[in-house]
Structure 1
Amino acid sequence: MKKTMKKIVSGGLSLLALSSLFLSACGNGGSGKQGGKTTLTVWAWDVALKQLEEAGKVYQESHPDVELKFEEMGTDQIYKKLSTSLATGNGIADIICIEGEYLVGYADKFPEGFLDLSDIVEEKDFLPSKISEVKYNDKIQAFPWDAGPEALFYRTDYFEEAGVDAASLKTWEDLIEAGKKIEATCKTPSGDPVKMLPMDPRKTNFYTLMRSQLGKGAFDENGNPIVNSAESIQAMKEAAKVYESGVCLNYNGWDEYEQTVVNQSVACIPEAVWMIGTIKDKGPDTKGKWSVVDLPMISGGQYSCNNGGSDIVINAKTKSPDIAKDFLKFAMTDTKLQASGFENFGLYPSYIPSYEEEVFSKGDPFFGSTNVYTVFIENGKKVADIATSPNSLEANDSISAAVSKIFLNKEDVEKTMNDLQAELEGKFAKK
């Protein structure tokens, strides 16, 4: 969520500086009673903190005896502080925001670090993929918050000029053929041929998307790597096929990714819902020229994809567990607050009842008459229940290296994935 959170609001929002001193109320496993009030300390970053502060103001109207102290810090600073605090039991907040991809690592390393929230999380009310994300070792480790369901953003003007119907892109082969037509027909404002989509050949994003459509991760439910499974190899071959077709525009890093919108150099972008904010911020002159459809599907695929999102944990040693749970449940299930968080800060809620709020039914006029949110709402419900592993982030570096070998050096997919499997087994295989 580091990229998604800061980019959706203004495209240039950076993480605000962390105060050099932590509030003394944060020490010794929770805040507890202070001056006749119950004090809870909250750690979160930029827009996540702003949304929690808004929830806090509303909560305190009916709970004047609860004081909420909010500490703003970047994600890296939260994780550094969290690791130390969970190990020692000191200096930790009551409520902590954490990116979904990091949660299982902390839950595995510190199995008693977070409160079990099974009593306040009604699983059926949340996107299944988010429940899968927060559930580990038969315990709901965190309250699910925002999600990143994906779809295909596309330029309606480029598609129309090339005579391509976006609804006809059922497979990735369809996308390749459409990309060739668009490149032969359409020009950017600077006069260059328009490429079909952006791709970083050194990152796992596109391979991960393909693999997710097949309902597989890099690890199985027992924590063993499965990067040489039939599904994983199929996903890598399909991703390489799209890259090698020549319809992709190479980029390196987030800034260059944004420039594909600024320069109007691509006809479509397969990305999460939070890309709405980046497109609006970086391409204001393209209003009315974008729309959204489902992603093309890999052969045998049946699932949607997700990219990004965060959750919230409660320190198991908080002195006020019941009040912390009560506030968190309120903040995460009040549908008006969730809608406000999405509209103002780009935090797409995983709490399904939120979608009844008006903002989700009226859509966004920047994207024309089609309600851009409908596709994401439906896709969010169809993300596969993929096994999580505390080793996923560490393994990602090795997977990225394999992607680079295949995309840039044209190395054999099956051999590269078998070599990757052996490497990951050496590091992570369960004995």
Structure 2
Amino acid sequence: MTTSTAIARLNAADPDFARHLDHLLSWESVSDDAVNQRVLDIIKAVRERGDAALVEFTQRFDGVDASTIDELILGRERLELALTRITAEQRQALETAANRVRIYHERQKQDSWSYTEADGTVLGQKVTPLDRAGLYVPGGKASYPSSVLMNAIPAKVAGVAEVVMVVPTPRGEVNELVLAAACIAGVDRVFTIGGAQAVAALAYGTESVPQVDKIVGPGNIYVATAKRHVFGQVGIDMIAGPSEILVVCDGQTDPDWIAMDLFSQAEHDEDAQAILVSPDAAFLDKVAASIDKLLPTMERAEIIKTSINGRGALIQVRDMQQAMEVANRIAPEHLELSVADPQAWLPQIRHAGAIFMGRHTSEALGDYCAGPNHVLPTSGTARFSSPLGVYDFQKRSSIIFCSEQGASQLGQTASVLARGESLTAHARSAEYRILADKKGN
């Protein structure tokens, strides 16, 4: 295999730059008709046949020799056993990461509040955690214990009473790190099921799998398609696209560092996107050279090469101001500000899932142990979406208490508006509470 790349070079001064950038960024998470129909059939089967369908699909799709649902359930003691099966170094790393993630997310917790008006009317908001959350975790060799921490810990910090995890074990392959992470994060129940059938089970419940209020966590196209279909029956976190990184550099960071930062996302899969923006053309050349030099040393060189050649880019801009404009246009999942004074540019960043400040802050630190969540909006959705957080596992109820005087005063306003909408019952309901002297009697 040849390990040299042909990464795209774009220049913001080019009259066709906007069109080229749009083409580079385009990515559609569209299920074809066959995938869509297959997912609908699986959801229907799980709704109709429950546990029996889960066992059947797990046998068929995951190659697991199980005849009953009990064989697909892992108790808390099995999670605790996993802690003893990983190395001391791995356990320490998981516990350190979990502690940092927990401390960060505790600051996100929202409390109920209220205020009292002069006439005694009380208005407020009651914040309540979800009763039960479902966590989807990819299984097999492509397993991510870090995702278990990032999804389960915010739910527990929010006060969710029960976190149910589903994780496929293809051909019976169990990832001890994933189970250990589930133990440390406080996961309550684990089912070794995956795919659209696991999503359906969480959304609708079966004899053994409890129905949840929200499903979070990444998965393949079948999982993403299933999440689309069950949304409304349950909440979901997001439909995530391929991983992305945008590095903005002033040309003063070691080009090898930048090349490896680009690789850190490109190695996820062939559709991942890695882009560097800089006003320094010579620096872009140096990074291109570093890419070609370092690529042969990577275990996942073929995946990185496909990603870099297909969706990567080195973009030259006029100056750092224009670099900020391009960054906002891209609205990346991960944004590295590899510059001398990142704090000075931060106010100009409007759209990014996570912002990594300075030359020493690699995106990889955020993936594992910095503290903020690594579940982030992709494909430009950072324009209107936020990282997964405690707030995703809490819901808000409005509180309204009217004193006699308050009900009388508000009733007059409500009456006028309700009659303007020809909703007479609304108006009369409010008018009953208007005090006699206010009615002019």
Same fold? TM cut 0.5: no
Name which one, 1 or 2, has greater alpha-carbon Rg.
2
Q: Which structure has more RCO (C-alpha within 8 Å, separation ≥ 6)? A: 1
TM (norm. structure 1) is: 0.24
